[in-house]
Structure 1
Amino acid sequence: MKTLTNNRFPRVAALQINQITFTRFIAALTVVFFHYGTHAFPATFSWLSESVTAGPIAVNYFYVLSGFIMAIAYYQPHNPAPLSKRKYWIARFARIYPVYLVALLLMAVASSSEVVNNPLALPLHVTMLQAWVPGYPMTLNNPGWSLSVEAFFYLCFPFLLALIYRTGLKYLTIVCFVLWLITQFILLTGINSPEYTGKSLLHDFVYYHPLMHINAFIAGLLCGVLYKSKADSLKSPNPVLLLGSLLLIVMLLEFRPFFENIVGYKLAYTNGLIAPVFLLFIWLLASTKGRIQTLLSHPTLILLGEASFSLYILQKPVYGLYNRILEPRLGLGEVADFYVALILLIILSIASYKLFETPARTYINKALAAKPT
């Protein structure tokens, strides 16, 4: 087996999963379309619009994938070893915080009136606690709410991994299933209640609170542990199965309104409802070898996947600056403006990954991880 080449992880994992990396770029792209491109091709296709603009659901995919990747990177099935919490937390901080902070400061400058009128917003964002307080997840750089949730996952991960080493998968699987049931009950009850309105405190709790998403991360973690335990004996699946799992995701997205009419309730896929289908796709893609693996492991696609975090967190500042500075001068039209700004965002994201994210991560890891406790 080849070694994992993704340099985000301090440990080396004896698995080749580069074919998954590009899916992060596609997922991040749906978030951009959700926020800015609902009027642009291919979102204008009625039979693809729900998938192309599935940004909030793509964030749930990120959470599932994050748990899976953490297991691949850190779980040691044949040689369990305690994880250094300090080094792990420093590594995760170094990975997400520098560009997160840059994007936040850009939005704080652009939204100075919001900072003045709502003095709690900036401290909550700086400390990555905004998702815990209803009313604040969508303030300032609103995509940052998901990083507030992800930070909670990173805080929990060493303890979850230790629990797996100590008791196996059984008890955490039960906990995950119970959390999943509770989450879906709270979410579906909440969004179908007469008191529910968009942008309300109830809305913020059911959609953004970290405890409403932990089930997805744990599900990904459990799947990753199981995958890594069996990786040596797994065979590459039939490509038809992989394509079928992808089509199943698309069908669930596109036919959600139809399903809502059948059950008579609003449905939300944002909090893990279709996490099992995501896991099926991730498992099959991670197991895939041959031409598909080679194609998706192309350096260009891997680079786009690695730059997807900057693309995601910088989208609001970049589109905001474009709309203020370039759009009035270029006069291209609404759709053209979206794509020009998107190209600019992709270029800046790659530059951020190569020239800022990676050097900053290396510096922080060397500076902080080397210090004695």
Structure 2
Amino acid sequence: MKALDGLTGLRFLAAFYVFVFHIHLRLPLSFLPAPAETIVSMGALGVNIFFVLSGFILTYAHLKDFPASELPTATYYKSFMLKRMARIYPAYLVGLVLCLAVSIGLNHYPAPFPLVVALDLTMIQSYFPSLAMLWYGGGAWSVSTEFFFYLLFPFLLPLLLKVSGTNLRYILVAVVVASSLPGLYYALHEHTVRFQTTYAFPPSRLPEFIAGVILGLLVLRHNFRVSERVTLGLIIFAALYLAKFGARAPGYTVHNFVALPAIMALICVLAQEDKSLLFRWVGSKPMQYLGRISFSFYIMQLPILVLLEGLMLSKFVVASDLYLAIPILAINLVLAAVLYEGVEKRAHKFLSSRIAKLYNIKALQPVKNLV
């Protein structure tokens, strides 16, 4: 397994966990044993993997850009943000257009629909908690929040580069604890605090991204390693914890103090160049391809879910139609491959070359399509 192959596969596992969670919200998987159903109901934590992994991979890809730990120039910042847009926006826009087509076809629009569309189109929905998770934003809020991280990354990385390895470890512990606080606050005040404020609002999720950046620096600059045995233990402990206590505290991110160490340990193991024994399958060729289409997989489930919700409102589909989960997964996979091959990959290559010419830099070489 080459370096980062496993992280490519991990992206799909995270997207699949979120997919199962979204299906469970609409077609409850009540046939599962209670502990397994509880873990599925915690599938929103799959987004945590995206956020931590994003910080790690961006650090891997751009560490060489800050040899002197200096803040970015205006030119670098513009090119960085344009590259980010080239990476995510074409597929994101296709997903939004498909959601719009579905809503028009069903004649069903969430109010205030023009404002919701405008916020989603500009990827700023997560800044408005009351509207953040409506319609396309039900899943696309995470892209909006991720883009907030992109805005900060070129300033965050050089600042953290000035910190010693020992202090980075202390900061990482503090950041993991801080990542649980918004969820804890919601769990204690769920009747008076809007859920989206502590879950989708970008600053409330920033600690998860920072954790990924720090982990990247520890692994790449300070030779930080976690054994597979410890990683497996943390994953099993997190699964047992969520199965037992996951449903007892609302807010999902309240469980970050357990979930994030397991996520970070897994990322650390998968990022190591030496072959993994326990997790080698995550970096297999099929998983690599699924990882490459994972963003399109995440995006394509959103219009599918809008369609499913519309059919459920019209009673054409009912919550007990669990058999639909398998064909929905198959359709999602096919559409994700089509979107990736036909739009995401081609648009990224084309736009990246134009940006390179505009700023007289080398064309963007994506790291396993993770950045």
Is TM > 0.5 for Structure 1 vs Structure 2? Answer: yes
TM-score range for the pair, normalised by the shorter chain length: 0.7 to 0.9
Query: What SS is found at the alignment partner of 1:111?
Result: helix
Pair 1:298 & 2:287 matched: no
Question: Hey, what does 1:189 align to over in structure 2?
Answer: 185
Which consecutive unaligned segments of at least 5 residues does structure 1 have?
A: 3-15
How far apart are 1:252 and its partner, in Å? 2.4
Instruction: State the percentage of identical aligned residues.
Output: 26
**Contact 2:98-2:303 at 8 Å conserved across structures:** yes
Alignment of 1:59-208 (within 5 A): 59-76=47-64, 79-80=67-68, 84-112=76-104, 114=109, 117-141=112-136, 142-168=138-164, 181=177, 184-193=180-189, 195-196=191-192, 202-208=194-200
Question: 1:117 and 1:266, CA in 2 relative to 1: closer, same or farther beyond 3 A?
Answer: closer
Pair 1:273 & 2:262 matched: no
**Contact 2:35-2:244 at 8 Å conserved across structures:** no
**Contact 2:29-2:37 at 8 Å conserved across structures:** no
How far apart are 1:165 and its partner, in Å? 3.2
Question: In 2, Cα distance between the equivalents of 1:36 and 1:307?
Answer: 19
Question: 1:177 and 1:296, CA in 2 relative to 1: closer, same or farther beyond 3 A?
Answer: closer
Query: What SS is found at the alignment partner of 1:135?
Result: coil
Deviations 1:161-216 (CA, angstroms, capped at 9, x unpaired): 121234456777776666655554443233322633xxxx6211111100100001
Question: In 2, Cα distance between the equivalents of 1:219 and 1:208?
Answer: 17
Amino acid at match of 1:276: P
Deviations 1:301-328 (CA, angstroms, capped at 9, x unpaired): 1011111111112112124447879x99
Pair 1:366 & 2:362 matched: no
Question: Hey, what does 1:49 align to over in structure 2?
Answer: 37
Question: In 2, Cα distance between the equivalents of 1:328 and 1:114?
Answer: 17
Query: What SS is found at the alignment partner of 2:114?
Result: coil
Amino acid at match of 2:234: S
Query: What SS is found at the alignment partner of 2:34?
Result: coil
**Contact 1:20-1:282 at 8 Å conserved across structures:** yes
Amino acid at match of 1:298: S
Question: Hey, what does 2:216 align to over in structure 1?
Answer: 224
Question: In 2, Cα distance between the equivalents of 1:301 and 1:168?
Answer: 35
Question: Hey, what does 1:9 align to over in structure 2?
Answer: none
Question: In 2, Cα distance between the equivalents of 1:45 and 1:165?
Answer: 46
Question: In 2, Cα distance between the equivalents of 1:269 and 1:120?
Answer: 28
Root mean square deviation, CA, Å: 3.4
Question: Hey, what does 1:10 align to over in structure 2?
Answer: none
Question: In 2, Cα distance between the equivalents of 1:242 and 1:43?
Answer: 30
Deviations 1:80-129 (CA, angstroms, capped at 9, x unpaired): 57663233222221111111111112223333553774332122111111
**Contact 1:132-1:209 at 8 Å conserved across structures:** yes
**Contact 1:121-1:136 at 8 Å conserved across structures:** yes
How far apart are 1:18 and its partner, in Å? 0.8
Query: What SS is found at the alignment partner of 2:257?
Result: coil
Amino acid at match of 1:109: A
**Contact 1:213-1:272 at 8 Å conserved across structures:** no
Question: In 2, Cα distance between the equivalents of 1:139 and 1:330?
Answer: 21
Question: 1:300 and 1:181, CA in 2 relative to 1: closer, same or farther beyond 3 A?
Answer: closer
Question: In 2, Cα distance between the equivalents of 1:296 and 1:185?
Answer: 31
Name segments (4+ residues, structure 1) moved above 6 Å.
40-43, 170-176, 322-325, 327-331
Structure 2 length-normalised TM:
0.80
**Contact 1:108-1:140 at 8 Å conserved across structures:** no
Pair 1:314 & 2:314 matched: no
Question: In 1, Cα distance between the equivalents of 2:359 and 2:61?
Answer: 24
How far apart are 1:139 and its partner, in Å? 1.6
Question: 1:242 and 1:181, CA in 2 relative to 1: closer, same or farther beyond 3 A?
Answer: closer
Amino acid at match of 1:58: G
Question: 1:345 and 1:91, CA in 2 relative to 1: closer, same or farther beyond 3 A?
Answer: same
How far apart are 1:60 and its partner, in Å? 1.2
Query: What SS is found at the alignment partner of 1:365?
Result: helix
Query: What SS is found at the alignment partner of 1:195?
Result: coil
Amino acid at match of 1:283: C
Deviations 1:133-180 (CA, angstroms, capped at 9, x unpaired): 111111221100000110001111110112123445677777666665
Deviations 1:214-241 (CA, angstroms, capped at 9, x unpaired): 001001110111101245x86x83x433
